[in-house]
Amino acid sequence: MQKRKLGKGGLEVSTIGMGCMNLSFGTGKAADVADGIEVIRAGYAKGITFFDTAEAYGPFTNEELVGKALEPFRKEVIIATKFGMISEEGGLNSRPDHIKKVVESSLKRLRTDYIDLLYQHRVDPNVPIEDVAGTVKELIQAGKVKYFGLSEAGADTIRRANAVLPVAAVQNQYSIWTREPEETVLPVCEELGIGFVPWGPLGTGFLTGTITPDTTFDCATDLRASFPRFSREAMKANMPLVEMLADVARRKGVSTVQIALSWLLAQKPFIVPIPGMDKLEYIEDNISSVDVSLTSDDLREIEERLANISIQGERLSKELLSLSE
């Protein structure tokens, strides 16, 4: 597996990371713990060293799963987790005392004495980002955290946080059908030397080519049931995007998944996607994208065809969009 660096601090990770959330939460029924461990360890055996989780996934159960799966080779992997999305009071909470409390709990669930990359899960409007960065700085000085990250943050917040503590990575939703970060976030990351970690790099499954306009999502277990972009009308309108990716994939002799991920990798050298991998068969397909070479002609064709496709539907529910900058 090839490697890429996130930020200026020397954080080196596999070029494709593993998003672990779907094993416990978000897009269907949670996997059996034994099956989840098998998937995570299979990813490691294939060369993945970067594993992403959060206290909010489950909640809590995904950190427990990741910790148990990675315990035998903890020092060979990079674990990223997140704070601030949930609290006893409900809603966002990035108060300094709460951050410290969450980190202690995450360390126990992850079966480790340090967190490689600690993200603020969502920006808390009630706590200055300078206070958040300062708190994580204290945790780094205490040896409990190594690197600081932000999730779903805007350019101004990134600048202000980075002025207090170097930000290693920003994790925002980004894919060939969700390109908002290109406007201001990616440029500021490039300017400041910050890595960028796209979540949902396969369009939360839509870009895999396995979803049709007739696909339905369980409201009780699948967040996509509330996403406007996954309504039947929007999926039907957005199918030309998948067809375009499939055309390119057929010509290159690879999968639609590999084209979607290789397109992301071609955008910037500091981008490290974390596709969700909740089944063994997904792993090889995802990591093989590293070996797909998109030429300048390929990339130009994709852009030209994208210009004629109007993506329909908001990327997230109103509730979740309200938590993003």
Predicted pLDDT at 90: 86
State the average pLDDT for the chain.
Answer: 97
CATH number at 105 reads 3.20.20.100
Compute the average pLDDT of residues 119-131. 98
Residue 81 has which token pair? 């987790």
Is 168 a residue whose pLDDT tops 90? yes
Instruction: Look at residue 69 and tell me if it is in a domain.
Output: yes
Instruction: Evaluate whether residue 311 is within a structural domain.
Output: no
Task: Please indicate, yes or no, if residue 48 is contained in any of the structural domains.
Answer: yes
pLDDT for res 248: 96
Distances (CA, A) of 71 to 37, 75, 143, 290: 11, 9, 19, 27
In total, the chain counts a number of residues equal to 325
Q: In terms of residue numbers, what domain contains 275?
A: 3-205+264-291
> Using CA atoms, how far apart are residues 74 and 160, in angstroms rounded to an integer?
32
Structural tokens at position 8: 């200026």
CA distance linking residue 106 with residue 111, whole number of Å: 8
Average pLDDT of 190-202?
98
Q: How many domains does the chain have?
A: 1
Dihedral sign for Cα 98, 104, 108, 111, please.
Answer: positive
Could you say which of 44, 57, 119, 282 is catalytic? 57
Is residue 321 included in any domain, yes or no? no
Question: Is 158 a domain residue?
Answer: yes
Give the number of other CB atoms < 10 A from CB of residue 169.
24
The 10s digit of each residue's pLDDT in 237-289 is 999 999 999 999 999 999 999 999 999 999 999 999 999 999 999 999 999 99
Counting residues of the chain whose pLDDT is more than 70, the rounded percentage is: 100
Q: Note whether residue 224 is domain-resident.
A: no
| Token pair 């300062």 in the structure block, residue | 134
Give the pLDDT confidence of 58-72 residue by residue, as tens digits.
999 999 999 999 999
**pLDDT for position 89:** 85
Question: Can 114 be counted among the known catalytic residues?
Answer: no
* Torsions phi, psi for 146 (to 5 deg): -105, -40
Residue 11 domain flag:
yes
Residue 136 main-chain phi, psi, to 5 deg: -65, -35
What confidence tens digit (pLDDT) does each residue in 297-306 have? 999 999 999 9
H/E element holding 5? strand 3-6
- Within 13 Å, how many C-alpha atoms sit on residue 11's CB side? 30
pLDDT digits (tens, 9 = 90+) for 210-243: 999 999 999 999 999 999 999 999 999 999 999 9
N- to C-terminal Cα separation, the chain: 33
